[in-house]
A and B are shown apart, each in its own frame.
Chain A
Amino acid sequence: MFSARLAIATAAIASAVTVGCSRNTIAAAEGISAGRAGEGRHLLYSYGCGSCHVIPGISEATGTVGPPLAGLANRQYIAGLLVNTPENLFRWIRQPQQIEPGSAMPNLNVTEQQAHDMAAYLYTLH
């Protein structure tokens, strides 16, 4: 027999489980990046990363100049050249032209802390 209380309880548990999973994902990403995912989300918007990349969860991020960043956390390589580790991701974000001269990705003068924050967000993308 249908019970409103049962429905509410189920919904509460379901949302707790979902939120709990997301919180763990964010915590893990922030842990390995030594950055803040929320700040990273803002930076990815304001640096215009979405002009070139489709990035889940970033406003107006519908660019098709470069590859989509969905699933970046699980990707084996960055830019086809670097093993996907936090250190390599920081380097790539900050100095792509030094790593791959002639890359379509420009040097944007991203600071060290900003790169950590951006990585913290990108590593939530599973």
Chain B
Amino acid sequence: MSSHKPLNFFGLTALVLLGAVSELLGKPVGGAAASGADAAAPKRLFKTVFLTAIAVLALLGIGGLLFMASGLYNMAADQPHTPPVRWMLLAGRTRSVEFYSRGIASPDLSNPTLARDGFVFYRKLCQPCHGGPGVANDQVGRGINPKPPPLTTTAVNWTDAQLYWIISHGLKLSGMPGFAPPLGDRDRWALIAFLRRLPLVSPADYQLMASSPGQPSLPADAPSDADLGFPSIQKGNPRLGKTLISQYGCATCHLIPGGGSGLVGPPLTGFAERQYIAGILVNTPANVVAFITDPQALKPHTAMPNVGVQRTEAIDIAAYLYTLGSPNRLAALRRAGTRARNGSERAGR
């Protein structure tokens, strides 16, 4: 891992800035041709502004320290941070992880044994705080602030190297511990291999895996592109899908951006980002198409009726729905599905 420290860089910058400022204060700001009195005026103005700015910053700093010392800021874990403090902590954390995980090379995670072993660690070490699909975290996880996020949707926001760094070292001012002991190097990579497969696991499958210790039933191979339905969806026509949504009256029940605002079922805003559909299926193109064509088969007694949508039409409808919200989750699903064959993370993620 790199031994660069950001402190040196900032220290150097501060020195340079200080030097530049003191030079400016010592010399006239105007050109060499300016007369004495005129040359002094802009320099005085600059000095006043600069000193005022310093004074304001110093007062804010002292004020901040006094505020913290006063005990007025609520540090209860079951109450949220104020938005500015939260932003500061999160931004700092993200930048820090990005900086300190530079130079970590992630290995090939395609070996199916890795993901299976990773699940054993996940269940024992991660599930108590983060929970799993359909499985609650323990009380200890619920009491923590910041809340341990659901890794099904949040692990995709980090690279393998960043996850490795977080898992190894933990995070200050959070409940996330470092697992460098007790987990060895290979074990931590195994955990990450499992985290990449986790979004593809349905809640029912996960509950089965979680209930039978020592016998995880994570399928050896990750689903292929075709299994997930990506080749078909790419041939789908979103514009036609939007028309079909109108023809089939989907918006009489669902709020669909660009379609209408029914109140029978849930809104479909940001549909591409949704992790599950109908509460029980992983949101993949294949599942969406199957659900649209025959919801009763997949979820008996659901309020969503079979209205005779043909498969090709369902593909177009799904193509439209996948224009709603960020495409990042789908891209990550595709990478998770084909990683088993392609090995380690592609560059330029």
Do residues B263 and A66 form an inter-chain contact, with CB atoms below 8 A?
Answer: no
Do residues B267 and A67 form an inter-chain contact, with CB atoms below 8 A?
Answer: yes
B81 to chain A, nearest CB (A): 8
B184 to chain A, nearest CB (A): 30
Do residues A46 and B153 form an inter-chain contact, with CB atoms below 8 A?
Answer: no
Q: B142 in the interface, Cβ–Cβ < 8 Å? A: yes
A42 to B77, CA, bound (A): 12
Do residues B275 and A75 form an inter-chain contact, with CB atoms below 8 A?
Answer: no
Do residues B153 and A63 form an inter-chain contact, with CB atoms below 8 A?
Answer: yes
Do residues A51 and B263 form an inter-chain contact, with CB atoms below 8 A?
Answer: no
By secondary structure, the B interface counts as loop
**Nearest opposing residue in chain A for B329, CB measure:** A64
Spot the interface stretch: B131-139, B186-194, B227-235, B309-317.
Answer: B131-139
Identify 27 residue pairs between A and B in the complex whose beta-carbon atoms are under 8 Å apart, listed by A's number.
A42-B79, A45-B78, A45-B79, A60-B86, A63-B153, A64-B275, A65-B275, A66-B275, A66-B276, A67-B274, A68-B270, A75-B264, A76-B253, A76-B265, A77-B303, A79-B279, A80-B265, A80-B278, A80-B304, A97-B134, A103-B134, A104-B203, A104-B279, A105-B134, A105-B279, A107-B136, A108-B136
Given the contacts A48-B147, A60-B80, A102 and B263 also touching, CB distance less than 8 Å: no
Q: B207 in the interface, Cβ–Cβ < 8 Å? A: yes
Do residues A71 and B255 form an inter-chain contact, with CB atoms below 8 A?
Answer: yes
Given the contacts A60-B147, A76-B264, A46 and B279 also touching, CB distance less than 8 Å: no
A51 to B86, CA, bound (A): 16
Q: A74 in the interface, Cβ–Cβ < 8 Å? A: yes
A105 to B150, CA, bound (A): 12
Do residues B301 and A52 form an inter-chain contact, with CB atoms below 8 A?
Answer: no
Given the contacts A47-B142, A48-B142, A67-B274, A102 and B147 also touching, CB distance less than 8 Å: no
B321 to chain A, nearest CB (A): 13
List residues of chain A with CB within 8 A of the CB of B79: 42, 45
List residues of chain A with CB within 8 A of the CB of B325: 64
Q: A38 in the interface, Cβ–Cβ < 8 Å? A: no
Q: A24 in the interface, Cβ–Cβ < 8 Å? A: no
Do residues A77 and B265 form an inter-chain contact, with CB atoms below 8 A?
Answer: yes
- Chain A 72-116, CB-CB to B under 8 Å as 1, else 0, gives 001111011100000000000000010011111111110000000
Given the contacts A70-B267, A76-B265, A104-B203, A52 and B304 also touching, CB distance less than 8 Å: no
List residues of chain A with CB within 8 A of the CB of B134: 97, 102-106
* B residues lining the A interface (CB < 8 Å): 78-80, 86, 131, 133-137, 139, 142, 147, 149-150, 152-153, 202-204, 207, 253, 255, 263-267, 269-270, 273-276, 278-280, 299, 301-304, 325, 329
List residues of chain B with CB within 8 A of the CB of A79: 279
A15 to B261, CA, bound (A): 28
Given the contacts A76-B303, A106-B134, A64 and B279 also touching, CB distance less than 8 Å: no
List residues of chain A with CB within 8 A of the CB of B78: 42, 45-46
**Nearest opposing residue in chain B for A52, CB measure:** B150
- Chain A 15-58, CB-CB to B under 8 Å as 1, else 0, gives 00000000000000000000000000010011110111010000
List residues of chain B with CB within 8 A of the CB of A80: 265-266, 278-279, 299, 302-304
List residues of chain A with CB within 8 A of the CB of B139: 109
**Nearest opposing residue in chain B for A75, CB measure:** B263
Q: A10 in the interface, Cβ–Cβ < 8 Å? A: no
Do residues A74 and B299 form an inter-chain contact, with CB atoms below 8 A?
Answer: no
Do residues B150 and A51 form an inter-chain contact, with CB atoms below 8 A?
Answer: yes
Do residues A66 and B147 form an inter-chain contact, with CB atoms below 8 A?
Answer: no
**Nearest opposing residue in chain A for B276, CB measure:** A104
Kindly name the residue among B137, B152, B280, B299 whose own CB sees the greatest number of chain A CB atoms within 10 A.
B280
Given the contacts A71-B263, A80-B265, A104-B280, A64 and B204 also touching, CB distance less than 8 Å: no
List residues of chain A with CB within 8 A of the CB of B273: 64
List residues of chain B with CB within 8 A of the CB of A45: 78-80
A114 to B266, CA, bound (A): 23
Given the contacts A67-B266, A75-B263, A77-B264, A103 and B203 also touching, CB distance less than 8 Å: yes
